[in-house]
Every structure is written in structure tokens, then in C-alpha cells.
Structure 1
Amino acid sequence: MKLPESRFCKETRVVKTSRVFPLDTNNHNTLFGGKLMSYIDDIASISAARHCRCETVTASMDSVDFLRPIGQDNSVCLESYVTWVGTSSMEVFVKVIKEHLMTGERELAATSFLTFVALDANGKSVPVPRIVPETEEEIMLHNTAVQRAAERKNRLKHSKALADELGTDKPW
């Protein structure tokens, strides 16, 4: 299958809404951070696959900024799309909106950036189409992506150096 030379951000957009149940919450009666991170990785992987139409792997989760707690009286709506691409990598932005189900009040609860790499059947990285932003938000995120990519690369370098220093000796 020949991929197009480019895709619009809107072609990679995914929206997922879930209700927050008691088993999804922590001792503060708010959504477990790890549960939300799982939702984020899941939806972002769909955006990445929609963009390249092949297998992908999560290369990094730059950050998850928890801005507001999400309670049991909320639904959680995640929106994701590809904001920028390298040769075989894709940056995906995820916006998390909580909605109070009784009042309808909606607030931005979290944001996250993830990087995925496109893979062929042998697990080797493959080129991906360019991404074309259209809305103000898409253009702003696209224009600031190079800086995030540089920060990501620098953080990876430091993580590898730290891993070399830490070793794998058992602590007991």
C-alpha cells in the first residue's frame, strides 16, 4: 500500500469518552493517574496508526500534566491527533477534558505529548507521511514541536547516561 505524501491533522483525530467508576479511583476518590495514562497511550496509538497505517510503538511519553482532578461524578473525554512528524516518528498530542455529568461543566483536566515510531512487519522503522495542520491549535502545536523534539532528544541522552550509571545490581 502506497501512503499519501501528507495527511491533515484532522485525519488522525480520535475522541474517546469514558465514565469514571469507583474502581477507577484512588483514595482521594479521583481517577487513578495510571488509569488516565493508559487511556492516553491507547488513544494516542490510534492517532499514530491512522497517520501511518502501519504498526507503531510508543517511543516516549514526554509528560502528562495533571491540571485538575477527575472525580467519580465526571466523564473523561480524550482527544488526540498527530501534531508533527520526523522521518519515522510522530508526535501525538492528547487533551483530556472532564465533564461533570450533572451540571455539564467541562474543564481541561490534563494534557500530554507522546512520540510513536512507525514499524514495518519486521519491526524496523519506516517513513511516515508529512502532517498538515489547519486550525489555530494545530498550527501552534506544530510550530512548537521542533523545540519539544529537541528537549525529548536531550532527555533521552540523559536517561541513557543515567541507566549506564545505575546498573542492574540487586538492592538486597
Structure 2
Amino acid sequence: MEAKPCIQSLTVKNSFVLPPDTNSHGTLFGGQLMGYMDDVAAIAATRHARTPVVTASTDSVDFLSPVYEGSTICLEAFVTWTSTSSMEVFVKAVTENLLTGERTVCTTAFLTMVAVDEDGKPVEIPPVYPESSEEKWLNAGAAERAEYRKKRRKESKTLAERFGADFPWDPTHNHKD
């Protein structure tokens, strides 16, 4: 497969922050922002792979500044690194007060998307290559972030096994030590 530049997957999404999207503080629900991030990452990954994708993980999402009702939210995403079937997608969210022009980065995150076939099985994707200094910087740290994600996933599986699928969880029940 022929490699593609990072910029080819660039996806930009803008939205007004309306009252139904906000909490009692007049700021965008964190879950709404995370939904926007997942959406824009999926579009960027699909644009790169040209096949359906699923979300495998979302790295830490730190809310750096509030997004107020009446402002806009602009999300940018592009594929920074690829493996055989998975892609790391960088997402940056910027809020803008349209009346003053003030713009603030409100969060950044990496999402891992996996390309799948019609049966949901992973499929091979083309490699990606960076061109700009920012893309090269992101790409250079991607392998280390991927290793961290593998470790975190293993820890998540351990938690899932320990606590199980029973509901409600009974804290008095003896669990495996």
C-alpha cells in the first residue's frame, strides 16, 4: 500500500454551542465535547484508511478551559501514526468567542481508531508519513504512546476480570487476590 501524508486526513468541524449542549454552569458538557472528538477522529481515520473504523481508545482528555454557551467549538483531527490496522489520530479543540475573536485551546487528545471490514475484523491500512515540523514531532512520540496504550489496555482487562459483569457489584464479595 502506498503511504499517505498526515495532512491528507485533516478534518475540521465547527459547531455553535447551544443551550441543549450545556450544563447548569452554561458550559459545554464534557461528554458532548468527547462525542465531537470521537466523530472528527473517525472521519479523519476513515479518510486515511478509506474503510470503516471503530474507536479502540481515547487517551486522557483534560479540559483545559471552559467552552461557553454562545461560543463556537472548532475541532481539528488528523492521522499522526499507523500500525497494521490501527491509527493514532490527534484531535485539538479550540473554542472561539465570535464577538471578540478570542480563541482558546480547550483540549487535545489522541484517539486510536482501527480499520475494519464488513465483519468487524481488522484490515490492513496504508502507512502515514509526516511532513510539517508539528506532524514530525507528533509522529516521533507515537510509538511510545502506543506502548503505553497497550499497557493501559492490559490493566483495563485486569479490572474488568476482577470486577466482572455482575450487577450490582457487591463490595463484600470476596474477589480474587
Q: Same fold, TM exceeding 0.5? A: yes
In 2, the alpha carbon distance for the partners of 1:163 and 1:150 equals 20
Of 160, 164, 168, the residue aligned with 2:161 is 164
Alignment of 1:57-76 (within 5 A): 57-76=54-73
Structure with a larger share of its residues in strand: 1
Q: Give the match for residue 3 of structure 2.
A: 6
In 1, the alpha carbon distance for the partners of 2:88 and 2:15 equals 24
Once the 2 structures are TM-superposed, how far is the Cα of residue 169 of structure 1 from its aligned partner? 2.4
Q: Partner amino acid for 1:136?
A: S
Q: Give the match for residue 95 of structure 1.
A: 92
Alignment of 1:114-133 (within 5 A): 114-133=111-130
Once the 2 structures are TM-superposed, how far is the Cα of residue 142 of structure 1 from its aligned partner? 0.4
Q: Give the share of equivalent positions with the same residue, in percent.
A: 53
In 2, the alpha carbon distance for the partners of 1:165 and 1:88 equals 29
Larger Rg: 2
Once the 2 structures are TM-superposed, how far is the Cα of residue 67 of structure 1 from its aligned partner? 0.7
User: Any idea what the Cα deviations from partners look like across 1:16-35, whole Å, max 9, x if unmatched?
Assistant: 10001111100111000010
- SS of the residue 2:42 aligns to: helix
Q: Give the match for residue 51 of structure 1.
A: 48
Q: Partner amino acid for 2:55?
A: T
Question: What TM-score do the two structures reach when normalised by structure 2?
Answer: 0.92
- SS of the residue 1:65 aligns to: coil
After TM superposition, where is structure 1 displaced by more than 6 Å over at least 4 residues in a row?
A: none
Q: Verify: 1:32 aligned to 2:29, yes or no.
A: yes
Once the 2 structures are TM-superposed, how far is the Cα of residue 137 of structure 1 from its aligned partner? 1.2
In 1, the alpha carbon distance for the partners of 2:165 and 2:113 equals 27
Once the 2 structures are TM-superposed, how far is the Cα of residue 121 of structure 1 from its aligned partner? 2.1
**5+ residue gaps, structure 1:** none
Once the 2 structures are TM-superposed, how far is the Cα of residue 122 of structure 1 from its aligned partner? 2.3
In 1, the alpha carbon distance for the partners of 2:95 and 2:167 equals 42
Once the 2 structures are TM-superposed, how far is the Cα of residue 12 of structure 1 from its aligned partner? 0.1
In 2, the alpha carbon distance for the partners of 1:134 and 1:30 equals 36
User: Any idea what the Cα deviations from partners look like across 1:18-58, whole Å, max 9, x if unmatched?
Assistant: 00111110011100001001100000000000011001111
- Give yes or no for contact 1:73–1:102 (8 Å, CA) kept in 2: no
CA RMSD of aligned residues (A): 1.1
- SS of the residue 1:64 aligns to: coil
Q: Partner amino acid for 1:57?
A: V
Q: Verify: 1:85 aligned to 2:82, yes or no.
A: yes
